[in-house]
Structure 1
Amino acid sequence: MVDLKQKPFYLSDEDIRWVEETIASMTDEEKIGQLFIMLDRKKDFDETKEIFDRFHIGGCRYSNEPAEKIYEQNRFYQEHSKIPVLIACNCDNGGDGACGGGTYVATAAACGATDDDSTAYSVGYVSGREAAAVGCNWDFGPVCDLLYNWRNTIVNTRAYGKDPELVIKNAKAYVRGVRESGLAVCCKHFPGDGIEELDQHLVMGVNTMECDEWDSTFGHVYKEMIDSGIQSIMAGHIALPEYSRKLRPGIKDEDIMPATLAPELITDLLRGKLGFNGLVLTDASHMAGMTAAMPRSQQVPGAIAAGCDMFLFFNDIEEDFGYMMDGYRNGIITEERLTDALRRILGLKASLKLHEKMKKGTLIPEKEGLSVVGCAEHLAMAAEAAKKSITLVKDTQHNLPVTPKTHKRAYAFVISSPPISRKNQHDPVKQLVKEEMERFGYETTMHESYYDLVLDDGITKETELRSVIIGKVEEFKKKYDVVFVFINMKGYAQANNVRLEWSIGHSTEIPWYVKELPTIFISLNYTNHLLDVPMAKTFINAYAPTREVIRQTIEKAAGEAAFEGTCNDNVFCGRWDTRL
């Protein structure tokens, strides 16, 4: 059972009195509602008010819009809730996770590429300030996963690295930054992603480590974060079979569940062995790692019965609320477990002084505070993060430096995900690349991919032929001095592993040109693309498709600034030819 006077709550007697009196005054429906975190996609205020009135939800997360709209939305949440609401955001990389127009600073991978933890602190600092400005009080970060498997694209850029000490150092720095603005923080995704290559949106993840190995890696990370006072932990839809077998001798393979539904992992391991006294929430409940584990009617109350305190997102609000209520009434959720969960939820709210702020009318800050979103100070931090993180993985052919003085005429590819992922629009990164290349002084010809041609001209035989016929190699060499290949691939909840994908079979994008002209490959996202272009002799990991990152990468390639970032062996994807 929770001890609200201890870490991470540290509540006073008066705070605890508010928690207990609030619980005592609640109806069963109000108690059940506190267990849910709603995802607000529609942003229909009339509908939202009805949800608050009828279902009494404990927390909210939302899809991003401009800062002023998010601010008004969050004000509405608090004004129409009987009990202060936990309002969460996903600020993995900076304030861009709190609102449109927020400041991107750096991915965790970029933080891990630097030589200290100041970049991770900056990410947390900017995340906290911009999230607090729009009225958030809970940040779903930091990511505490360990990227051991280079094939894993779920946490490829979201993990600080594969060294537990590096992850601990950066995660703690991130937390320090966030807490300057008073937000609660959340480690994710217990018991740890990065061992395999599967996406829990599509399938249950499995952390295959033996117990002793887990204790010294993921367990070590979580123990350090718990001891430092982390307030909440997100349970992933990830099984830890060896610990389930150890803690439940004789458990059948078919009964091994993801952590979100496994009491031996939440109650016994996380709360018992690791001593976590804070709040546990599930990862998103629409992910197949959870939905395929058991019927929905059992999943919903089963997560709370397993030891999770809050359930992240509804499928159908009325139905899921009914499932949770039925689970309480039929004893799947005991009175003791429900009360313990409520104490942790309200305890977190009290630790943030939400109950006091509600009385004072200060749950939402003054609107003038929105001026910090995208401010000069934060943009300077983003520029410094790019400076310190952009990584030259290899330059074995000594193509660098390349500048407009020596290689004036540039041909530039931008290899993008299919246009359906950006609502059938051209990749805006392509325009950023063109502008920054030309700003720097290159005469730049942008390649038109099959995607580009189809968006402009439709699917025709001509567009197909233009996309697969290279033309005369000698003419290409006479026209251009250097080739730049910017890789801007990203996947989400569609494939278990994201690989570099050309826009059409036998595309003219495929690197036929690497032996003809100096070629500079730049990844603007994942760190493992050398697997698909091992013929690249010059490869840069830049970690993000922002103007600042693109600008600094071009400058560094020209020798105007040093590459300061570092990388580990994951970037070579376990192959010998990627190192050549």
Structure 2
Amino acid sequence: MGKRSHALASAPFHLAQHAVRWVEATRGGLTLEQKLAQLIVVQSIDSSRENLERFAALGIGGLFCRAGGPIHSLRTAIGHLQSHSRVPALICGDLELGAEGAIGGIGTVFPNQMTVAATGDTRWAERMARIAAREGRAAGFNCSFSPVSDLALNHRNALVSTRSFGDNAVTVAPFVAAYIRALQRGGVAACVKHWPGDGWDDRNQHFVTTRNGLSLAQWEATYGHVYRSAIRAGTLAVMSAHVSLPAFRGAGEAPASLSAALNVRLLRERLGFRGVIFSDASTMGGVTSLAPRPKFVPQIVANGCDLLLFSNDPELDLHYLREAVRDGRLAIARVDEAVTRILALKAALGLWRTHDLSPAVPANVRHRHEQWARDCARHAVTLVKDEQRLLPFSPRRHRRVLLIQEWSHHIPKPNAYAPELELERRLVAKGFRVERFAPDTDVHRDYYDVVIYAIAEEASKVRASMELRWLDLQGGFPRAMDRYWHDVPTVFISFGSPFHLRDVPACPTFINAYSLAPVVQDAVVQALVGAIPFRGRSPVRLSKT
């Protein structure tokens, strides 16, 4: 067995000899143009048969689909692409569940990663991943850009926050590892993100290159610990982000997506990762702000990323890659190395044998998934404090409820199936009379028995801030300065960021629910009325300042 064959038979691919032979024979049968096409993952904005056949003719390495698209459309598009592809394509998606909602529009709306972490039990990470694998495969996916292995170190970071398992590497790492193992046992490749670790900076790499400013010793004890755990768990892929790590020698301020120091010397040589490296999206401001596309597209591959996300014009990106090979900026040996790993990933997923789509998830399995989501939510809702001994509520003592609610209506929903905040309906069903706050509301004990603040702001790729917007919440200035808990018993509930305690440190009753998922909203109301206990524990350190 040659050195390259031995590497394919080892972690994380673990290929048998017949699969190794398929990788080598397939690579040997590809022209340079076809090899370059294998490096590209396109985004399925236009899923017409003509466009899919165009991608297949080019021989693209993978297709990214929005997980929330209608399942029939997903299955039809993916099946058509695979049936026309000489080399089966990776079908990638953000199968994070959480704010992204149900896979295929009919799957399970499971709470986000931070909700899972609040249970304190890694079995929920495993079940979350099992759902993503089963329902993802039924929709046609074979690779998920999950789990998020970042740390929520900066309360202002709106990209990480609730998408993470928390801020403590020692507790986050087991959740990441459990997720990876379960997802890949289910036949879907895990791609942990965002290397070398997001969550330290307060900025969003979709808009600007961001920074991990820890010292190398601090990084090793935090993000390094999580990534080593993910590699030991067998993750098949890592996503290299538009995040810098200046503390690593020779890395400077370059983002990982453009850094051989971070991708090769740190991730591969120091941490020992041998799987596939995806770049984060090449359409993001974190990389487009640094150089023109003809320059940075080949640089991404030359600096250690095996797959380029996303190409909106694959023919043009192929031209950029071809020109870089021709003038020596991109070595053919580097292309062969990347293609070998990409084909090994496909072989590890069994795509060399068949790329037929998995059958639909049976109804009894879907019901089990829904029960898992309910049980996870019931174990996660966290009572941070109840200094006034207000809880539990009862319709007899707290019948008149004033609801002050903000749901981020000004932030685009990730898809049509993402949940809404419907706390009012749930409270009414329990016998409460609920009135919504308006700018002219007279907030007084004579009119209301309790005030509930309900805020729903989960982390999102389209969000630039997680700050509490008092002007929107309480009808502009000067009412934004009013605080009501000195006169009317008040509870603040966050269905998103766990860090709002610093916005209302004097509010005597505070609940973190972490997620907008309907099962979490149900669990919160059940806990408010004392039907279930508050079982959750905070996955992050909370501060009043």
TM-score, normalised with respect to structure 2: 0.92
> Which of 265, 278, 291 is the aligned partner of 2:262?
265
1:349 corresponding residue in structure 2: 346
The question of whether the paired residues in 1 share the 8 Å contact of 2:69 and 2:104 is answered with yes
Cα gap change, 1:161 to 1:568, in 2 (>3 Å): closer
Per-residue CA deviation, residues 32-52 of structure 1 (Å, 9 max, x unaligned), is 111011111232222222232
2:388 corresponding residue in structure 1: 397
> Which of 236, 240, 245 is the aligned partner of 1:240?
245
2:158 corresponding residue in structure 1: 153
Alignment partner of 1:308 is 2:297: no
2:118 corresponding residue in structure 1: 113
Per-residue CA deviation, residues 166-194 of structure 1 (Å, 9 max, x unaligned), is 11111111123213321111111111112
1:559 corresponding residue in structure 2: 530
Alignment partner of 1:12 is 2:16: yes
CA distance in 1, matches of 2:153, 2:184: 29
CA distance in 2, matches of 1:168, 1:491: 20
The question of whether the paired residues in 1 share the 8 Å contact of 2:116 and 2:124 is answered with yes
Pairwise CA distance, 1:443: 1.4
Q: Within 5 A, what are the aligned runs for 1:518-529? A: 518-529=489-500
2:445 corresponding residue in structure 1: 477
1:73 corresponding residue in structure 2: 77
The question of whether the paired residues in 2 share the 8 Å contact of 1:102 and 1:373 is answered with no
Pairwise CA distance, 1:511: 5.0
Cα gap change, 1:376 to 1:130, in 2 (>3 Å): same
2:129 corresponding residue in structure 1: 124
1:462 corresponding residue in structure 2: none
- Larger RCO: Structure 1 or Structure 2 (Cα < 8 Å, ≥ 6 residues apart)? 2
2:400 corresponding residue in structure 1: 409
2:87 corresponding residue in structure 1: 83
Alignment partner of 1:61 is 2:77: no
Q: How many residues align?
A: 534
Cα gap change, 1:569 to 1:164, in 2 (>3 Å): closer
Cα gap change, 1:160 to 1:564, in 2 (>3 Å): same
Q: AA paired with 1:269?
A: L
CA distance in 1, matches of 2:463, 2:529: 36
SS in 2 for 1:79: helix
SS in 2 for 1:170: helix
Pairwise CA distance, 1:563: 0.6
User: Which 4+ runs in 1 deviate beyond 4 A?
Assistant: 490-495, 507-511
Pairwise CA distance, 1:396: 1.9
The question of whether the paired residues in 2 share the 8 Å contact of 1:90 and 1:98 is answered with no
CA distance in 2, matches of 1:420, 1:353: 39
The question of whether the paired residues in 2 share the 8 Å contact of 1:68 and 1:370 is answered with no
CA distance in 2, matches of 1:480, 1:257: 55
Per-residue CA deviation, residues 196-250 of structure 1 (Å, 9 max, x unaligned), is 211101111111112222122211211122122111111111101010xx2x3xx
The question of whether the paired residues in 2 share the 8 Å contact of 1:103 and 1:373 is answered with no
1:458 corresponding residue in structure 2: none
Q: AA paired with 1:526?
A: S
Per-residue CA deviation, residues 59-114 of structure 1 (Å, 9 max, x unaligned), is 11112222222222221221121111111121223694632222122211112211
CA distance in 2, matches of 1:509, 1:102: 39
Pairwise CA distance, 1:266: 0.5
Q: AA paired with 2:186?
A: S
1:209 corresponding residue in structure 2: 214
The question of whether the paired residues in 2 share the 8 Å contact of 1:84 and 1:354 is answered with yes
Q: AA paired with 1:346?
A: L
TM-score, normalised with respect to structure 1: 0.87
Q: AA paired with 1:377?
A: R
Cα gap change, 1:355 to 1:495, in 2 (>3 Å): closer
CA distance in 2, matches of 1:107, 1:365: 25
Q: Within 5 A, what are the aligned runs for 1:153-552? A: 153-243=158-248, 246=249, 248=250, 256-358=253-355, 363-366=356-359, 369-371=360-362, 375-419=366-410, 421=412, 429-430=420-421, 432-447=422-437, 467=439, 469-471=440-442, 473=443, 476-490=444-458, 492=460, 496-501=464-469, 502-503=471-472, 504-506=475-477, 511-552=482-523
Pairwise CA distance, 1:293: 2.0
Per-residue CA deviation, residues 287-313 of structure 1 (Å, 9 max, x unaligned), is 111111222112111011001100011
Pairwise CA distance, 1:374: 8.1
CA distance in 2, matches of 1:441, 1:111: 30
CA distance in 2, matches of 1:352, 1:214: 32
Gaps of 5+ in 2: none
1:451 corresponding residue in structure 2: none
